[in-house]
Amino acid sequence: MDIRKEYSLKAHNTFGIDAQADWFIPYKSIEELQLLARDEYFQECRHLLLGEGSNMLFLTNFHGIVLHSQITTLETYEEDEVHLTLLVGSGVHWDDLVAYTCARGLGGLECLSLIPGQVGAAAVQNIGAYGAEISQRVVSVHTVHRRTGELRHFAPEECDYAYRHSFFKTAEGADYIVTHVLLRLDKQPELQLDYADLKARVAARSAAPSPEDVRQEVIAIRRSKLPDPAELGNAGSFFMNPIVPPARLTELQETYPDIPHYPAPEGQVKLSAGWLIDRCGLKGFVLGHAGVYPRQALVLTNVDGEATGQDIARLAQHVQQQVQECFGIELQPEVRYIS
Ligand code: EPU
């Protein structure tokens, strides 16, 4: 195992924050994790699972062990007339998997194209876009317990999936280190196009669209709205879209008749955090080395590559305060703060 001491995480988080980990341990197999689980120091030490760091904000150096999956296997697990089930290593780059499935005409992941990160992290975070969530495709999440080394496979209902949430994001769940994810794809895809803009673009592209057509349009939309982390440090949407009772929407509509809103579970409504931030006049706003992205207000960026985690957190707090003052709504970060 290639264990590193006092290791910079700058290349391992998409904000490009230069935080340091006491220890950085890439793992390549279940056996390596089980070996680590037998080590007393490892058992006691704080730990953090880090994929590509596309949803993390390091506020300080990380005192503990950072675990990074390098399990990059991809194999067919099961196949019948209708479905193909793939067993995918948690270290596979998410978008490589989406490209692989779309190129083979398999349906299910196309709306989730170009989302940064690894497969394991995608299953933990329950990534979503354009009406699709990875949880709709998860058959099971395979894990090793970090202290006992025991293997456990979680069925979707045990993962407790919700909007950008799973059991693995809880304190108890964080002890289960994801090694593989079993995903079910459709061999005769029925394209899910809930998002009007995407639907129109796909229809204009082809009369009989394939998952690959959807993928290409999703890529084009994302590239037009979201900055490439390789060029401008960011973590995609910084906040979650707030979910409010319908009465709250009615109140807001009196002043803002054009406020975007979408149905959410249990009769609630989802508002657009990006729209709320934009309406506070914050698009393009810069505070120190951190800025609100001019083309999509839900994205905070490391404007000159010099931002610290604290700089980004300060800007986030300012945005939260402004949205609270303008709309009386409390925005919750989607990005995880790590200290
Ligand atoms: N809007 C504005 N101004 C802005 C940004 C958005 O007015 O600066 C309005 C848009 O015009 C639209 C609405 O807000 O009416 C929603 O915007 P958009 O379609 O861009 O999507 P979003 O709600 O901001 C969510 C996800 C994204 C995902 C897109 C597409 C969350 C927190 N974010 O963004 O996910 O790609 O929908 O489905 O749910 C991510 O999680 O990192 C991410 C990028």
Kindly tell me if the per-residue pLDDT of 1 is higher than 90. Answer: no
Give Cα separations from 112 to 60, 122, 215, 216 (angstroms). 31, 10, 8, 11
Is the shortest distance between the CB of 112 and ligand 1 below 6 Å? no
Tell me 28's DSSP state: -
54 closest CA partner among 230, 278, 318, 317: 230
Neighbouring residues of 13: CB distance < 8 A, sequence distance ≥ 6? 19, 50, 53, 54, 56, 57, 58, 235
**CB 333, CB 299: distance < 8 Å:** no
Is the shortest distance between the CB of 260 and ligand 1 below 6 Å? yes
Least confident stretch, 37-46, 158-167, 222-231, 233-242: 37-46
For residue range 145-154, list pLDDT tens digits in order: 999 999 999 9
Mean pLDDT of the chain: 97
Q: Whose CA is nearest to atom 43 of ligand 1?
A: 237
Residue whose entry in the numeric block shows the structure tokens 């609100």: 292
Dmax (CA) for the chain in angstroms is 61
183 closest CA partner among 218, 134, 111: 134
Ligand 1 centroid to Cα of residue 138, in Å, is 24
Ligand 1 centroid to Cα of residue 26, in Å, is 33
* Catalytic sites, residue numbers: 164, 237, 334
Proportion of the chain above pLDDT 70, given as a percent: 100
For residue range 20-48, list pLDDT tens digits in order: 999 999 999 999 999 999 999 988 899 99
pLDDT at 192: 86
For residue range 122-131, list pLDDT tens digits in order: 999 999 999 9
Is the shortest distance between the CB of 242 and ligand 1 below 6 Å? no
CA distance 46 to 65: 6
**CB 240, CB 163: distance < 8 Å:** yes
For residue range 283-333, list pLDDT tens digits in order: 999 999 999 999 999 999 999 999 999 999 999 999 999 999 999 999 999
Is the shortest distance between the CB of 335 and ligand 1 below 6 Å? no
Proportion of the chain above pLDDT 90, given as a percent: 97
Pocket probe for ligand 1: among 298, 326, 332, the residue whose CB has the most ligand atoms within 8 Å is 298
Is the shortest distance between the CB of 179 and ligand 1 below 6 Å? no
Q: What ranges make up the beta strands (E) of 121-223?
A: 128-129, 132-133, 138-145, 151-154, 176-186
